Amino acid sequence: MPGTLLPQKSGVLQRGITFRALPSKTVALNLTTGRLSGFADGLEAVRQAVYVILNVERYQYLIHSWNFGVELKDLFGKPMTWVMPEVKRRIAEALLRDDRVTAVDGFVLTPDRHRLSVSFTVHSVFGSFEEAVEVNV
């Protein structure tokens, strides 16, 4: 409706709203068997979330939000000098969407012809751990 003003930040929509983090507990994924069994919480749940994020290509599956996953497939065929800094940025951006992840750093990139091995450290509210991924380029 022309001329209608939206409520300001201090308006009615802001009163009584409290933001809280969702629980970390989730069903545990057994990476060896590919089956779900038991539950994971804390650092193990974050480790599992990182694994899933890095193995889901963003925009590829309708079941996932467009904010979920990482964009790596379109790097295929690009020059390694462009891919290396771009992979670091894309991985960090994808993982930092999870509010339990506080930082991603310590990247070590090892190029090998048409493959780039990437290892890095993920820092979360529950602790830190090392992770690695390979990207075809």
From residue 92, alpha-carbon distances to 6, 73, 88 in Å are 35, 16, 6
Q: How far apart are the first and last CA of the chain?
A: 51
Burial class (CB in 10 A: 0-12, 13-18, 19+), 95: buried
For position 107, what pLDDT does the model report?
98
Interval 92-137: pLDDT, tens: 999 999 999 999 999 999 999 889 999 999 999 999 999 999 998 8
| pTM, rounded to two decimals | 0.80
Instruction: Read off the pLDDT of residues 55-101 as tens digits, 9 standing for 90 and up.
Output: 999 888 888 888 899 999 988 888 999 999 999 999 999 999 999 99
Contact 25, 40 (CB under 8 A): yes
Pick the CATH number of 23-136 from 3.10.450.40, 3.30.2390.10, 3.30.43.10, 3.30.2310.20: 3.10.450.40
